[in-house]
Each structure stands twice: as structure tokens, then as C-alpha cells.
Structure 1
């Protein structure tokens, strides 16, 4: 059965361009168009699409407000289109908080190396998020820091995510393994998943955390700043030469690779632009995980979260061979069960864990809770 799509944009040119690209795929059907956010809310209730493509900036009702209304009345998977600017990044992150599942740059030349790759990526994203059953989506229990000494909350919690009821993690014993680093890789659905996890970690989290999220370069500074304002741990965009510190999460910059170099107490981050045509993702989970396996051997807890494709599988294999522990997000709580499925199917993960349980399990496993 074809995925039914509602295309929302105030530009007739962009509506036509998106529909022409999507309809090249026989598994996608365009069932309607909307010219502004208000029109989108009404058409969603009327047409009941499987997925919506949505512009951020529109007259009458903007894309963020439209996402809020749609998710409150007729929850539907939404793919945002935005400009690669600081304002566009902030607005897109607001849309993800409001309930949108993923985003793409509005300039197709910014999506991929060539036009064919961009077309395939758009079609694949629409099919992947459009086939998800929205009945599983509810307002998540994203923990916000309220204890003494916690940071103030800079953003309201308006996020949506595929959620499962948390298990009683108090009944699950820690393995007793000693770690020096936590590494987390993710893609589609990752911004909300990372916020869900990181906002629940205590300020005294004992290890550095590496975050590898597929995201454009214009977005990672805003995303790191947003997480830093919400979390009790410190979150920053990684920079060349950063010395890894406990209780600090380092977000790989968009468009670049992040490696760990050095040994013992002298481990630092190397951040660099990668022009290799063999590497699809920049940042790449595989690239970072491989460097972590070399720098830390088996003293690593790696987590692969929701995302398209299989980035992270090869790096997780190297980590596993070195003796590291690998966890994968479970299918039920994943927006797209691609990356964690690749790791699980390869026999690399020791556990598949629901999103709402990850923070508690990390806290218990690392001995700080």
C-alpha cells in the first residue's frame, strides 16, 4: 500500500517540486496540498495522510504552530523543510520539540552529494516515517532537572516521541563492568531521543559522553546549546583539541568527523572536515566508534539509537571486538528502526532497551545512581 502524503508549503514551485520527486516512487501517493499552516491543519483532519511534508515559514499559521495543532488533534508523522541558517535551525528544533519527526534542508543541493542521492533520501525518509503507526505516539515523559543546583530550563517541553512505559529498572542489576566513556549514535528521531536521555542524567555523571547525530553544520551549535540549557550535565559542540571531561557531553559538529586521540588522561578530540566520497555520513557513527575502540579498548558503553540505515554497525563491531558493551534502542520506541536493528541483527548488542529506560540504565550501569 502506497504511503499517502500531504505536501505543505506556501510556494507553488516548491510544492510542485516535492510532489514530482515523491511521485517518482510507486510506493508514494500525493493526496493533497496545503498553502499555509491553517490549511495544513484542516487538510490533515480531512484527508488523514500517512505523512506530511511541512515548511517552517508560512503565512496565516507558521509550520511550528501547525505541527502543534496537528499533533494535538490528528497526530501524523511530519517531515519539516527548513533553511540552513541559525534562525532556521532554531525553528526546526522547535518543530521537532512540537512533534515533527525529522527534517531536511529546503535546498536540495544541501541534502546529498548529487541530485539522485537527494531524491532517494527524500523518498526514503517519507516512506520510513510515513509507515509508522501514529497510535503509538504520545506526549513523552521527558524528565526536566528540578533538583537543587540544576540549570534553569531555557526551553519549554513540547516534544513528542514514540514512547513505551518505562520498566522498573531498579530490578535490573548493573553488570559491574568499569567504563571510561559513553558513546551514543543516532539519526532520524535522534534529537528528541537525545533530549529524553540527557535531561535525565545527573550532574555527577562520571564519564564523558560522545554524541554523534546526523545533522547539518548549521544545526549542531543550536542543538548543543539547547541541550546544555535543559540538562544538568554540560553539553557542548565538540571542538578540535577538547580534552574529555567527566559529566560533559560532546556533540559532533555537522559536516565533520569526530575522533578520539591519545591514551590515559591525555585523550582529546580531533574534529576535521572529511572529503572522502566513501563516507556517507558526516558526522559518522562508524568513524567515531572506530576511534573510540582504539583509544579506550573495551572500557566503553556504546548506545545506538533510532535512525535510518546502518551507520554504527561497523563501528560497534570494532568496539565489541575490543570488549565494549553495546546497547540498541528497541523497535517499539524507535522512530525508524534502522540503525539499532542493524546492530541487533549483527549480534553486536547485548540488550535492546526502550527509550524511556536508557537514562536510568546508564545511570545505574555507570554507578552514579
Structure 2
């Protein structure tokens, strides 16, 4: 059955262009358009689309407000279109806070190296998040408030959306009561893609200020977004979070976010190398594989690596190198992933010793490293 899409944008040209691209794929059907956020909220309730593509800046009701209202009344996977500017980054992160699952640059030439790749990227993202069927009911206010993770920014006007699908852990796979292995570590590394910003925020905001090791964060994200994302996480977390820079010395209780468009490597125990990578063979910049592989070389088995939600298989090869060096590999469980791609690649390769539900990850990490 084709994925049903509602396209929301105040530009008639952009609505038409997005529709044309999506319907080149026979597995996608654009069922209607909305020209502002208010109309999007109404049509989301009427048409029950599988996916909504949403602009940020629109008249009558902006995209962020529309996302909040849709997620409160008719939870639907939403893909945001964003400008690659500092303001665009902030607005897109607000939209993710409000419940959107993922985003793409509004200029298609920014998506990939050529138009064919850009078209494929948009189609793939829509189909992937369209498979994530969110619950089509509005939980009571009391239920939503009692079950929300405490990740809202101080003084933020954005309430946390209903993320029932990300709270439904699988007790048969892992639980917050699992015991620590007793293994000693020197580094924690976390790789993720689609759905990662929310997943990372959920995990990092629960880690204690006295976290004993440095943390490497590899999130597939454009260069314009990583400074804003690092700043936002730092404002929310007890640990310190910063965008990684060339020559950074790794410190306990500090998380280093790989800069968008660059690669981050552990050069030796205690220092980072951040560099431009023009290799056409490397799809992801930053790449989880590259960072994981460097950690395996520098820290051998003294690494706890976690692969979270995301499309594709980035992280599998690097995790294999870590595993061979004696490191511990965990993967997010399928039920709480936005897209079960990267963790599935880890699972299928037999690399993960645990499959952990998102709400349990922070607690399991803290126990495992002896916080």
C-alpha cells in the first residue's frame, strides 16, 4: 500500500515540486496540500495521512505550532523542510522538540551531490518514517504529562509531544533493571541518524554531572545545525556538551558532538582530530564508522558504543572493529526506534550484546560505567 502524504507549504511552486518528486515513486501518493499550519492541522485530522511534509515559516499558523497541535490531537510522522541557516537550525530543532521525526534542507541541491540522489533521499525518508505508525489517538492530558520525559528546555514554550511509540520498551530484550557487566571503560561513543536528535536529548539529559568518561556523539546532521544542537544540549544537560574541535582533549563528563560536514576521529588516547573529508566513497559526514574505527584503534576494548535510531548501516563496520578489540556494543531496540536501520544492521551482524529501549539507555549506561 502506498504511503499517503500531506504536503504543507505556502509556496505553490514548492508544493508542486515536492509532489512531483514524491510521486515519481509508485509507493508514495500525495493525497492533498495545505497552504498554512491551520489548514495542516485540519487536514491531518480529516485525511489521516501516513506522513506530513511541513514548512517552518507559513502564514496564519507556523509550522512549529502546527506540529505541536497535530502531535497533541492526531500524532502523525512529520518531515520538516528547513533552510540551512542558524535561524533555520534553531527552528528545526524546535520542530523536533515539538514532535517532528526528521528534517531535510529546503534547497534540494543541499540534500545530496546530485539531483538523482536528492530525489532518492526525499523519497526514502518519506517511506521510512511512513512505516512508523504513530498512535492515532490523543492521550489524556494527565497521561501525557505523567509519561513525558523531562527534556523540555528551561522556560521553553514547547511542550513535549506524545512519543508513546518511543516509550514502549521491550522487557524481553532489556530493561532498566539489567545488571552492570563489571567491565572497565575509558570512553562512551554514540552513533545515530534519523530520530537521533530527540534520542540523544532523551539520553544525555538523564546522565549525571559526575559522569566518569568522555562521550563521543556522531549524529548525521548538516554543518549549519551541529553548533545549535550542541548549544541546546549543553543548556539542557548536567554534563557539558560541545561541538568537537580539532585538538580537543577528551575530558570526563563532556560530550563531543561531531561537526556536520566533517569527520571526527580519536587521534590518540585523550585527543580528537576533526577534519574535512572530500572522499566520494564516504556517504556520511560525519560518519559513525570512522569515529568508531578510530576509537577501536585508540582505546581497544575500553569502549562502550551505542547505535541508535537511523537509516542505513553506518556504524556497523566500525562496531565490528570495536567488537574485535573487545569493546561492548549496544543497539537501540526496534520498538523505540524512529527508523530501525542502523541498529538492525548491528543486530543482524551479531555485534550487539544488548538491545535497549530508548527510555532505558541512560540508566543502563550509567550503571554500566559505574556512576
Contact 1:154 1:229 in 2 (8 A): no
Partner of 2:299: 296
Distance 1:5-1:171 versus aligned 2 partners, 3 A rule: closer
**How much does 1:132 deviate?**
1.1
Contact 2:41 2:66 in 1 (8 A): yes
Partner of 1:149: none
User: The residue matched to 1:163 in structure 2 has which SS?
Assistant: helix
1:63-107 Cα deviation digits (max 9, x unpaired): 000000101111100000010000000000000000000000000
Contact 1:82 1:88 in 2 (8 A): yes
Partner of 2:154: 153
1:138-175 Cα deviation digits (max 9, x unpaired): 75632359xxxxxx836456344432356695642110
Give unmatched runs, 5+ long, in structure 2.
none
- Residue number among 335, 338, 341 corresponding to 1:335 in the alignment: 338
Say yes or no: does 1:223 pair with 2:224: no
Contact 1:255 1:282 in 2 (8 A): yes
Structure 1 window deviating more from structure 2 (154-163 vs 39-48): it is: 154-163
**How much does 1:224 deviate?**
0.4
Structure 1 window deviating more from structure 2 (160-169 vs 72-81): it is: 160-169
**How much does 1:46 deviate?**
1.1
Structure 2 length as normaliser, TM-score? 0.94
Distance 1:37-1:276 versus aligned 2 partners, 3 A rule: same
- In the alignment, the residues of structure 1 paired with residue 82 and residue 224 of structure 2 have an alpha-carbon distance, to the nearest angstrom, of 11
Partner of 1:103: 103
Partner of 2:240: 234
Contact 1:96 1:159 in 2 (8 A): no
1:239-297 Cα deviation digits (max 9, x unpaired): 1110000000000000000000123xxx2111111000000000000010010000000
Say yes or no: does 1:61 pair with 2:67: no
**How much does 1:43 deviate?**
1.0
- In the alignment, the residues of structure 2 paired with residue 54 and residue 173 of structure 1 have an alpha-carbon distance, to the nearest angstrom, of 43
Q: CA RMSD in A?
A: 1.7
1:74-113 alignment, distance < 5 Å: 74-113=74-113
Partner of 2:188: 182
User: The residue matched to 2:336 in structure 1 has which SS?
Assistant: coil
Distance 1:155-1:253 versus aligned 2 partners, 3 A rule: farther
- Residue number among 251, 257, 260 corresponding to 1:254 in the alignment: 260
Contact 2:7 2:19 in 1 (8 A): yes
1:93-150 Cα deviation digits (max 9, x unpaired): 00000000000000001001111111001000000001211119975632359xxxxx
Partner of 1:148: none
Distance 1:291-1:343 versus aligned 2 partners, 3 A rule: same
**How much does 1:13 deviate?**
0.4
Give unmatched runs, 5+ long, in structure 1.
146-151
- In the alignment, the residues of structure 1 paired with residue 151 and residue 109 of structure 2 have an alpha-carbon distance, to the nearest angstrom, of 38
1:126-141 alignment, distance < 5 Å: 126-135=126-135, 141=148
User: The residue matched to 1:132 in structure 2 has which SS?
Assistant: coil
Contact 1:155 1:226 in 2 (8 A): no
User: The residue matched to 2:217 in structure 1 has which SS?
Assistant: strand
- In the alignment, the residues of structure 1 paired with residue 207 and residue 168 of structure 2 have an alpha-carbon distance, to the nearest angstrom, of 18
Distance 1:239-1:65 versus aligned 2 partners, 3 A rule: same
Contact 1:142 1:199 in 2 (8 A): no
1:105-124 alignment, distance < 5 Å: 105-124=105-124
